[in-house]
Structure 1
Amino acid sequence: MLNVNEAKYGVTIKIRDTFGEFDPTTKDTVVIDDRRYLDATGQPIVWDVIQVAPDLENNAFVKIVLGVTK
């Protein structure tokens, strides 16, 4: 999925399924508030949502594939 979108970096996160209260889409962006996800200048990386899918192992979660495509 990341190769198709020509992403430089990628990460997969899981969030709790809000059952319609909030539905992430590929139009959304994400900032991970963690020092391990800073760019070379120390600024937070802005991730594009590449794919959203249900977590087939646990229906209480949603898997989101994030990538940096710029």
Structure 2
Amino acid sequence: MSKLKECRKKHGLSLQLVSDELNISVSHLSRIERGRQVPSPDLAERLSDFFHGEVSEMEILYPQRFSQ
């Protein structure tokens, strides 16, 4: 499981809620969480900011390096 998904689930947030807050589609966020799509650096920064730095931009951009 990616650090991004772990963080989202830890806070009990749905894909819908996070995607609405960031103005992206649920499917786009889901693909990012599953490592099927790489977000833009800007979106990685926005995701990190949304979670108050609990997940870093690097963990979002390169999930394969940080997955367990």
Taking structure 1 as the reference length, the TM-score comes to: 0.26
- Higher helix fraction (1 or 2): 2
Structure whose alpha-carbon radius of gyration is higher: 1
Taking structure 2 as the reference length, the TM-score comes to: 0.26
